[in-house]
């Protein structure tokens, strides 16, 4: 348990975030008096309020922090001059970022941390499913919603699961070095890719961060690594030469003998999800869970929030919601959609996430949409705290991306600058046998609800 100045009071700044809210649920399950703040109200804040959490929505104010809180957790995106943060310092409260607070928890559990540029949420959820089926009853803190595991309040579709064992499963995000705060007993690494370059700047620094994540594990920790990713393979081979890491590696690959068994049973489409399932399979074997229980768990895995998630229909067209925002993820999702619906017309409505990512990876974005028949591009979502508003490079705009994709595919590519026009546009053009994937890590999910 996290040590605080006060016994059971905690205040979370940015409580409506998917990660922060899961931590709030954890503290609730441990008997804490939880309160917090966020700029806007959302379904997440409403759910927490339904659990008895006092939340202040709107501009942050020093007066929001209850007297005697003693312990404050805040989102990493918070400015240092934030009024509530300054008030917490003035009162000499213990202050932690989300990653620091979660890192403290990993020290006190047998922790399984899932890291990687892509597939973290899905793999974390699959690992949770395997441990639950294996009778290990884990606590789970994840940056998405577990669709088939009940939370502390007994409800499904939540980002937290309360267990009653020594096992903790966490999603280990690499942005801003967050995962360097975690100390796992089993460290899973799905892949390494050019991601979060606004923070890391170079691929070499990204690889270095993943190396620090692995070497920061607890003494005797086991590493579950993807043998199919060249950067992971190189890193694993480098560390395996060090005596202190000898015998601690468990490799998985699409060349494994278990692939056909897993692929046959898996409900979610795509070879990338077979790879994610292999990681979970390897974790299960490491914990000596019987193979039949591992395979049963994977066969019952139904997906997570915003990962090729079916939402309903529009004019007979099936509408899916997906979080993909990196070229590698876009390509994998569209290939999976084509695999499942080989004869359908596939629409991809994509909102780029962060202008900086679009600019740096522009050439990789262009071929990522090859499996789409129709592409609709929106303007980039501006991430608060990570780039200056309107700091767009003209040569890497969504309009230019639309032109580049159009020149490559000769298919229908549309650029629509006003997202409010999307529901009317799609209602006019989609119909039976169409597949529509609303894609992006920004606020495009809000449009999805208006379609169905």
Closest by CA position to 205, among listed 184, 231, 224, 227: 231
> Is 50 exceeded by the pLDDT of residue 441?
yes
Q: For 42, list phi and psi in degrees, rounded to 5.
A: -155, 170
- Which of 260, 279, 299 is the last residue in one of the domains? 299
4 in a domain, yes or no? Answer: no
Ramachandran class of 142: left when φ > 0, alpha when ψ lies in -120 to 50, beta otherwise: beta
- Which of 299, 323, 349 is the last residue in one of the domains? 299
The answer on 80 and 129 residing in a single domain is no
The answer on 330 and 291 residing in a single domain is no
Give me the mean pLDDT over the 172-190 stretch: 94
The answer on 31 and 89 residing in a single domain is yes
- Which of 64, 97, 130 is the last residue in one of the domains? 97
Structure tokens at 292: 């039949």
Q: Is 330 exposed, middle or buried (0-12, 13-18, 19+ CB in 10 A)?
A: buried
> Is 60 exceeded by the pLDDT of residue 152?
no
Q: For 247, list phi and psi in degrees, rounded to 5.
A: 75, 10
Which pLDDT score, from 0 to 100, does residue 234 have? 96
Task: Name the binding residues.
Answer: 116-122
The answer on 332 and 275 residing in a single domain is no
324 in a domain, yes or no? Answer: yes
More confident residue, 2 or 279: 279
Are 22 and 1 in contact by the 8 Å Cβ rule? The answer is: no
More confident residue, 410 or 34: 34
Full domain range(s) for residue 44: 9-97
User: What ranges make up the beta strands (E) of 48-138?
Assistant: 54-57, 71-74, 94-97, 110-115
The answer on 364 and 234 residing in a single domain is no
1 in a domain, yes or no? Answer: no
The answer on 281 and 324 residing in a single domain is no
Instruction: Give the model's confidence band at 151: pLDDT under 50 very low, under 70 low, under 90 confident, else very high.
Output: very low
Angle formed at CA 281 by CA 276 and CA 284, multiple of 5 degrees = 130
The answer on 371 and 238 residing in a single domain is no
For residues 217 and 242, give the distance between their C-alpha atoms in angstroms, rounded to a whole number. 15
Angle formed at CA 199 by CA 196 and CA 200, multiple of 5 degrees = 80
The answer on 269 and 176 residing in a single domain is yes
Instruction: Give the model's confidence band at 1: pLDDT under 50 very low, under 70 low, under 90 confident, else very high.
Output: very low
For the chain, give me the number of helices (H) and strands (E)? 17, 18
For residues 324 and 346, give the distance between their C-alpha atoms in angstroms, rounded to a whole number. 16
Specify the pTM: 0.86
Instruction: Give the model's confidence band at 262: pLDDT under 50 very low, under 70 low, under 90 confident, else very high.
Output: very high
The answer on 231 and 156 residing in a single domain is yes
75-125 pLDDT per residue, tens:
887 888 899 999 999 999 999 999 999 999 999 999 999 999 999 999 999
Task: Name the binding residues for ATP.
Answer: 116-122
> Is 60 exceeded by the pLDDT of residue 342?
yes
Q: Which residue carries 């020290």 as its tokens?
A: 107
- Domain with residue 334: its CATH number is 3.90.190.20
The answer on 208 and 261 residing in a single domain is yes
Q: Give percent of the chain above pLDDT 90.
A: 60
386 in a domain, yes or no? Answer: yes
288 in a domain, yes or no? Answer: yes
Which pLDDT score, from 0 to 100, does residue 74 have? 94
Q: For 398, list phi and psi in degrees, rounded to 5.
A: -65, -35
> Is 70 exceeded by the pLDDT of residue 279?
yes
The answer on 276 and 170 residing in a single domain is yes
The answer on 397 and 326 residing in a single domain is yes
Helix, strand or coil, per DSSP, at residue 188: strand
Q: How many domains does the chain have?
A: 3
Q: In sequence order, what are the beta bridge partners of 189?
A: 115, 225
Closest by CA position to 350, among listed 328, 332, 326: 326
Packed helices 271-286 and 327-340: angle between N→C axes, nearest 10 degrees: 100
């Amino acid at each position: 348990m996290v040590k605080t100045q006060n016994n059971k009071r905690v205040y979370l700044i940015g409580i409506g975030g998917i990660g922060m809210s899961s931590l709030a649920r954890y503290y609730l399950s441990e008997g804490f008096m939880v309160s917090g703040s966020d700029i806007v109200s959302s379904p997440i804040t409403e759910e927490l309020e339904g659990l008895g959490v006092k939340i202040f929505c709107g501009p942050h104010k020093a007066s929001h922090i209850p007297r005697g809180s003693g312990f404050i957790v805040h989102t990493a995106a918070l400015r240092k001059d934030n009024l509530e943060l300054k008030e917490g310092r003035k009162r000499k409260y213990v202050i932690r970022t989300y990653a620091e607070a979660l890192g403290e928890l990993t020290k006190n559990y047998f922790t399984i941390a899932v890291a990687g540029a892509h597939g973290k949420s899905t793999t974390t959820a699959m690992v949770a499913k395997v441990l639950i089926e294996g009778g290990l009853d884990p606590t789970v803190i994840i940056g998405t919603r577990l669709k088939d595991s009940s939370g502390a309040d007994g409800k499904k579709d939540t980002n937290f699961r309360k267990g009653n064992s020594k096992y903790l499963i966490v999603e280990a995000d690499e942005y801003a070095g967050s995962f360097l705060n975690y100390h796992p007993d089993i460290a899973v690494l799905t892949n390494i890719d050019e991601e979060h370059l606004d923070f890391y700047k170079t691929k070499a620094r990204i690889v270095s961060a993943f190396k620090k994540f692995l070497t920061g594990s607890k003494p005797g920790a086991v590493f579950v690594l993807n043998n199919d990713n060249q950067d992971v393979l190189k890193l694993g081979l480098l560390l395996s030469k060090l005596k202190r890491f000898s015998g601690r590696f468990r490799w998985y690959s699409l060349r494994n003998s278990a692939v056909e068994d897993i692929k046959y049973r898996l409900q979610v489409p795509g070879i990338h999800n077979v790879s994610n399932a292999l990681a979970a399979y390897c974790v299960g074997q490491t914990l000596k869970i019987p193979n039949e229980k591992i395979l049963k768990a994977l066969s019952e895995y139904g997906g997570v929030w915003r990962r090729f998630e079916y939402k309903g229909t529009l004019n007979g067209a099936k509408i899916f919601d997906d979080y993909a925002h990196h070229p590698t993820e876009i390509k994998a999702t569209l290939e999976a959609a084509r695999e499942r619906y080989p004869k359908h017309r596939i629409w991809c409505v994509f909102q780029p996430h962060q202008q900086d990512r679009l600019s740096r990876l522009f050439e990789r974005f262009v071929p990522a949409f090859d499996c789409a028949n129709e592409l609709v591009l929106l303007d980039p979502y501006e991430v608060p705290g990570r780039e200056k508003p309107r700091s767009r490079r003209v040569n890497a705009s969504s309009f230019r991306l639309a032109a580049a994709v159009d020149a490559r595919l000769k298919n229908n590519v549309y650029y629509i600058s006003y997202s409010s026009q999307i529901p009317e546009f799609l209602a006019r053009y989609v119909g039976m046998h169409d597949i529509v994937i609303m894609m992006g890590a920004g606020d495009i999910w809000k449009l999805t609800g208006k379609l169905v």
